[in-house]
Amino acid sequence: MRIPFWVGICVGFLGISLGIPAQLLTPEQVVDMRWVTQVAMQPQGEFVAYTLRVQRDSTEKPGGAYNELWVVSVEKGEPQAYIRKPGSVRSIAWSPEGKAIYFLSRRKEINPKRQVYAIPLSGGEARLVTRAPRNILHFRLSPNGQWLAYTMRDAVPAEVKKKRQRGYDQKVEDTWDVLTRIHVLDLTSGESWLVTRSDHNVWDFDWTPDGAALLYRASERPFTDDQYMFSDNYLVPREGGEGKRIYDTEGKLELARLSPDGKYVAWRGAVDLQDPYPGSIFVKPLDGGTPRNLLEDFPGTAIWFDWFNSRTLLVITIEKTRTYLYQIAIPSGNRKRLLGGEGPVFRSLSWAKKGKRFAVAANTYRHPNEVYVGRLGHKRLRRLTLSNPEMEKMAFGVQETFSWKGPDGLTIYGILVKPVGFQKGQRYPLQVQVHGGPESAQLDGWNTYYSSWVQLLAQRGFMVLMPNYRGSIGRGVAYAKGDQLDLMGKEFQDILAGIDSLIAWGMVDSLRVGIGGGSYGGYASAWAATRYSDRFQAAIVFAGISNQISKGGTTDIPAENALVHWTRWLYEDLGFVWDRSPLKYIANAKTPTLIAHGEKDLRVPVGQAYELYRGLKYFGVETELIVYPREPHGLRERAHQIDFCRRALDWYERFLKNPVQ
């Protein structure tokens, strides 16, 4: 049926008057969005290789997204695809002469195990580089390109295999059969050998600058909790042997790196066992001495570093809601800010070994990660890729850094996104998007995903607040520790104070406030729906905590949970732990609550969702529980992501669009 011209004109004006954009993002578009997941600058600085996340389509069997391999010329642009889906790659690296790109992939038609491949810059077929007997987890090329180091789990002992075949496949807690170790392959002779002969489980590793040894981070046990809390850095000769511990560190830790001249070693780590995030940079002489914290009392958090030369570190930090790049002189510790504070948000850097050119994966509030390039000493980045052209003319809600005072006068920062067509003096429904962790931060970049509905909501007339409550990173160690032994105490008061500020300024309707988040953000949402149910008209709890006692006893990170969040084990004060559990206040609940959880979640086991759901049902609260098969802590499969995103939008539309009478 043909629509009369005048009807189209009226509809067009109605859309403008309501502030509704002509083109709305859909859950399918959000889930299918492409973004850059890794960049690698060619050593000669002429090309950038990158991996592009590309979602499965409706005709494919369930599974995670693909990572395609692309290359773009720094000067000419024009990205070229080298490996497209259903091929998928990760851990890309250039050969030293810049003529080939190495990557990890599982190509069943060539080798059933995950192996290292290489593809020429000139294009063509990728060639198989390794023939390891089991899946390769990570790899690193030596600086001169002669050797390739990789990690692989030990073979399961023959006796254990036989028992499993007979059905004796029981799991005994705190025991293990295999460890992950480093192996080295000589790319000239084809000979390979075991390097780490100590009984360490290797989590990360890299070569020393001279290629004579490897640095690695490892723990005594192969469990997630040990990776988080109980690892150390070691040095081992390329030929293999016992690893030598670099320093007896405490708490969360990342891989150490050696200066190009081999005199200093630096690492990113925690200041103590209770520090929630490895956000400080330590440096010491390799041959002895005490580590120095180069970021002591720094009002931000380091998220990446590397050596630029023998006396200079490059460091990326989060400060409030932005990212910055610094150079730090060694041994003086003098800092110089090189980039950041405006423009795109970035988290790591890859630079050419000749010159000062570098590449980053970066995003803004208008698009997810794309490839950008820059030069050290220049303040601006230049964008090279456009992965989602359909979004270029789409209207998005204006996003800005927003601050307010917490309950004790402490300044809290966050991100505020105004509805498309925002009009001053009008009160809007509000969604509070709470980040997980809590050792994380909301940044002034792209924030819209299947479980974070920011621009989806802004286009539909909602205001969105993303608070960096105390306990977040980006404000220094003391701020990150600010919620310890006070979970859902002042940190949740920080969130309420942000809501009250928006209400006081006439921007938000107090009768149309909703909340949502995943993991720790789901915990905050469950707390809002129970303890503070009178303040919220809708809640979405994704992979969230409802009972801190049962969660602490079933999670795969009990030590991390105890040491950096509670600063004590739950068994030392069960009464206090129960007091900070949403389930304790279930009789107070009246907030309509949507609950979603992965069936195979080990971090926050799915029982947390059932406990909350059944409590809400008992007290007659409107609620729905969706459990997604096969899914861990977060959703991988396209259909599940779309389903959850649709349900979330519908939930907020249903309960927040019209004021409660």
Say what the pLDDT of residue 643 is.
Answer: 98
Say what the pLDDT of residue 353 is.
Answer: 86
Say what the pLDDT of residue 13 is.
Answer: 32
Say what the pLDDT of residue 36 is.
Answer: 98
pLDDT at 17 over 90: no
DSSP of 377-434: T-S--EE---S-GGGTT-----EEEEEEE-TTS-EEEEEEEPPTT--TT--EEEEEEE
213 CB contacts (<8 Å, ≥6 apart)? 207, 235, 236, 237, 238
Task: Report helix, strand or coil for 513.
Answer: strand
pLDDT in tens, 275-318: 999 999 999 999 999 999 999 999 999 999 999 999 999 999 99
Say what the pLDDT of residue 354 is.
Answer: 79
% of the chain exceeding 70 in pLDDT:
96
The predicted model scores a pTM of 0.95
Task: Report helix, strand or coil for 615.
Answer: helix
Tokens of residue 220, six digits: 């005594």
Say what the pLDDT of residue 416 is.
Answer: 98
Region 352-371 average pLDDT: 94
Region 115-139 average pLDDT: 97
pLDDT at 9 over 50: no
Tokens of residue 305, six digits: 């570093």
Task: Report helix, strand or coil for 359.
Answer: strand
pLDDT at 1 over 70: no
Give the β-pairing of 593-598 and 623-628.
parallel
Confidence of residue 8 (pLDDT cuts 50, 70, 90): very low
pLDDT at 16 over 90: no
Tokens 């290789």 locate to 49
Tokens of residue 511, six digits: 């009768």
**Where is 229: in which H helix or E strand?**
helix 224-229
DSSP of 462-510: -EEEEEE-BTBSSS-HHHHTTTTT-TTTHHHHHHHHHHHHHHHTT-EEE
Report the C-alpha gap between 277 and 359 in whole angstroms: 26
Confidence of residue 240 (pLDDT cuts 50, 70, 90): very high
Say what the pLDDT of residue 254 is.
Answer: 98
Tokens 């309509």 locate to 592
361 CB contacts (<8 Å, ≥6 apart)? 35, 36, 37, 38, 39, 50, 346, 347, 348, 369, 370, 371, 372
Tokens of residue 545, six digits: 């905590």
**The residue count for the chain:** 661
User: What are the φ/ψ torsions at residue 482 (nearest 5 degrees)?
Assistant: -65, -15
Confidence of residue 4 (pLDDT cuts 50, 70, 90): very low
Say what the pLDDT of residue 424 is.
Answer: 95
Region 183-202 average pLDDT: 97
Report the C-alpha gap between 406 and 501 in whole angstroms: 10
Report the C-alpha gap between 365 and 345 in whole angstroms: 9
Give the β-pairing of 367-375 and 382-383.
antiparallel
pLDDT in tens, 29-40: 999 999 999 999
Maximum distance among all alpha carbons in the chain? 82
Output the CA–CA distances (angstroms, integers) from residue 111 to 136, 156, 230, 625, in the order listed.
Answer: 12, 20, 35, 42
Task: Report helix, strand or coil for 554.
Answer: helix
> Does 331 sit behind a cis peptide bond, omega within 30 degrees of 0 on the bond before it?
yes
DSSP of 21-73: -SS---HHHHHH--EEEEEEE-TTSSEEEEEEEE---TTSPS-PPEEEEEEEE
pLDDT in tens, 543-574: 999 999 999 999 999 999 999 999 999 999 99
Domain extents in the chain = 260-341, 400-656
Q: Which fold is adopted by the domain 400-656? A: Rossmann fold (3.40.50)
pLDDT in tens, 607-653: 999 999 999 999 999 999 999 999 999 999 999 999 999 999 999 99
pLDDT at 190 over 90: yes
